[in-house]
Amino acid sequence: MKEDLFNWYKKGFDNLPPTEPPPMVWENIASALDGKPKRRIPAFWWWSGLSILVVGLATAVWLNYSPTSNVANAKPESFSAQSKRPQTVMKHTAPSKQKESSNSIQSKTVNSDNPFRETSPSQASTEQVATANNTSFSKQKASITSHSPEILVSTPSNPENNLENTNAPVNSLNSNPLAEETNLSITQKTETILTHSSGLILPKRSFIGFELSTINPELTTTSQQLPELIIPKMNNSGSSWFFGVASEINNNWVFNHDLVDAMRKESMNSILPHFSSTHSLVASKEFLPNHRIRAELILSKKEGQHYVTYLNGQLLKKDLHLNYSGATLLYDYRNPSPKNLFGFTLRTHWLGGASLCYLSESKLAIGQTMVSPSGYRKMNISLVAGMEKEVFFTRQLSLGAGLRLMGGLTNIFKGYENIPAWFNRTHTGNIAGTLSVRYYLNIPNH
């Protein structure tokens, strides 16, 4: 019997026998009619709350971190040390008179200028008077070159306790860019106390291990008030370039109707974020002090979302993966006041800009089936805002860590033949933790 496809289909449909639905359908209906649906907090709100909490806590920690010193507010500290033997003290100190007990070293600076000023080479004449255990100390003037803060040096005049040349360490400091080695040898011979501030004299190297190793053990038992760690500001006339690599851990969302639907308590959909990593090459140019332009070449950036739908006791899962590459251009404002983080310079950056990305691949996993949806636009423009902390381990090498918020401006859903783009506006968005390593081509103005 020949029959038309439509008729065949209609007959098949109409001939479908009545079928008893699953019993839980009525239970669900009765529950809904009672107005007592199971209270369910959509996953979206869980994740949003968690993200906001994490971001809030992280921001609070960053912003309220109380450093031990701030260059801008650095205040001179006195220093005293008790020792049974004559001591030589190299101390980075402030221009104030310091008087201590008879066993202490007394120092004073002649130069009353702020030795930590950022501009102009500092020339400090220091005069040190130190007495300890009947040992007289010579007065010595030290001329400090630029890029070095003032140094107070006191050396014993007693030949027995003296070094080969008491001027040597000062000269070395002035002339040798790797002065810390010289300084160290002197320290060992003369039992020089190098407090952790002494390391800051040396601009080219990190110093914290060096400092600790040169403290006379005998002195560690004595009462001493260590000066605050003071980071010298360098006179840097040129603008700085840096290059580096950056990685982000993204917490991705795709803002669309499904996400809105998932916010409803009675929704049977759950939306979960898609975690991914982003890797970029970074370059930055300072065009004004503390104002920079930063460009990031995004090698790989993944957006997406997980969908879980609960239907009749079964979970149906769907994963959307969108892989992008592109570039980000950021305005980078650096907080002019550096801080101290365990002896390292800590700078805060505020970032704002935009990102232009190209969709290189789109995948949709429905259960075990993977398909390539074609309904997504190739270009995606996002706004970016963030904050970053940068720690300098050396003068030119730094590590940055921060948080970013990114929101897509473009409706990435271009639609299908039967679903216009406007019907399901879709925007990307994510919260990202960033980590970057940078190398400055020229010495930045820390």
Partner 1 sequence: MAEEASDKQLVDGCVRGERRFQELLYKRFSPKMYSVCLGYAGRGNEAADMLQDAFIKVFRNIGEFRFDCPLEAWIRRIVVNTAIDQYRKASRQAMPLSLDDTLELDDETVFSHPSDHKYFLDLVSALPDGYRLIFNLYVIEGLNHREIAEQVGISEGTSKSQLARAKKYLQQKLKQETATNPSAQKNEGRSFQLV
| Closest distance of CB 300 from partner 1, Å | 24
Bridge partner list, 288: 291
What are the phi and psi torsion angles at 26 (to 5°)? -65, -40
For residue 376, the SS3 value is: strand
Indicate whether 419 belongs to the interface with partner 1 (CB under 8 A): yes
DSSP 278-307: EEEEEEEEEEETTEEEEEEEEEEEEEEEEE
C-beta of 324 vs 413, nearer to partner 1 = 413
| Chosen residue from 320, 351, 357, 412 binding partner 1 by CB under 8 A | 320
For residue 19, the tally of other CB atoms under 10 A from its CB is 5
Q: Of the listed pieces 239-247, 270-278, 367-375, 386-394, which binds partner 1 according to CB under 8 A? A: 367-375
Stretch that binds partner 1, among 22-30, 42-50, 272-280, 339-347 (CB under 8 A): 22-30
Pair of tokens at residue 33: 């009619």
A 10 A CB-CB count for 414 gives 15
Closest of 278, 316, 317, 322 to residue 304, by C-alpha: 322
Least distance to partner 1 from the beta carbon of 28, Å?
5
- The reply on whether position 22 binds partner 1 by CB under 8 A is yes
Placement of tokens 């995004």 in the chain:
298
Helices 168-175 and 179-190 pack at an angle, to 10 degrees, of 160
In the complex, minimum distance from the CB of residue 310 to partner 1, in angstroms, rounded to a whole number: 9
Tally Cβ neighbours within 10 Å of residue 354.
Answer: 15
Q: What is the closest distance, in whole angstroms, from the C-beta atom of residue 308 to partner 1 in the complex?
A: 13
21: left (phi over 0), alpha (psi -120 to 50) or beta: beta
**Count of CB atoms situated within 10 Å of the CB of 287:** 8
Q: Which stretch binds partner 1 (CB under 8 A): 182-190, 236-244, 309-317, 381-389?
A: 309-317
422 binds partner 1 (CB under 8 A): no
- The tokens for 362 are 């789109």
Residue (9 or 46) nearer to partner 1, CB: 9
**Burial per residue of 158-175, b for 16 or more beta-carbon CB atoms within 10 angstroms, e otherwise:** eeebbbeebbebbebbee
* Closer CB to partner 1, 33 or 63, in the complex: 33
What 3-state class would DSSP assign to 375? Answer: coil
Minimal distance, residue 398 CB to partner 1, in Å: 43
Site string for partner 1, 327-366 (x = CB under 8 A): -------------------------------------x--
- Cβ(429)–Cβ(253) below 8 Å: yes
CB of 427 to partner 1, least distance (A): 13
60, 68, 373, 381: residue in contact with partner 1 (rule CB under 8 A): 373
Q: Give every CB contact of residue 205 below 8 A, 6+ residues apart in sequence.
A: 178, 180, 199, 394
Reported as type and span, the H/E element at residue 169 is: helix 168-175
Q: Which stretch binds partner 1 (CB under 8 A): 5-13, 55-63, 126-134, 152-160?
A: 5-13
Instruction: Answer for the pair 431, 55: CB distance below 8 angstroms, yes or no.
Output: yes
Site for partner 1 in 219-278 (CB under 8 A): 256-258, 261, 268
In the complex, least distance from residue 9 CB atom to partner 1, rounded to whole angstroms: 5
Number of residues that bind partner 1 (CB under 8 A): 53
CB of 425 to partner 1, least distance (A): 10
Q: Does 35 help bind partner 1 (rule: CB under 8 A)?
A: no
Q: Give the residue ranges of DSSP H helices in 17-166.
A: 23-33, 43-63
375 binding partner 1? (CB under 8 A):
yes
- How many angstroms separate the CA atoms of 320 and 314, rounded? 20
Among 424, 433, 437, 443, binds partner 1 (CB under 8 A): 424
Q: Which residue has the tokens 């101290």?
A: 340
Quick one: which segment of 128-136, 143-151, 185-193, 316-324 binds partner 1 (CB under 8 A)?
316-324
CB nearer to partner 1: give 67 or 375: 375
Fill in the amino acid letter for 158: N
* Shortest Å distance, C-beta 358 to partner 1: 21
Nearer residue to partner 1 within complex by CB, 5 or 288: 5
Q: Which residues bind partner 1 (CB under 8 A)?
A: 1-10, 12-22, 24-26, 28-30, 32-33, 256-258, 261, 268, 307, 311-314, 316, 318, 320, 364, 371, 373-375, 416-419, 423-424
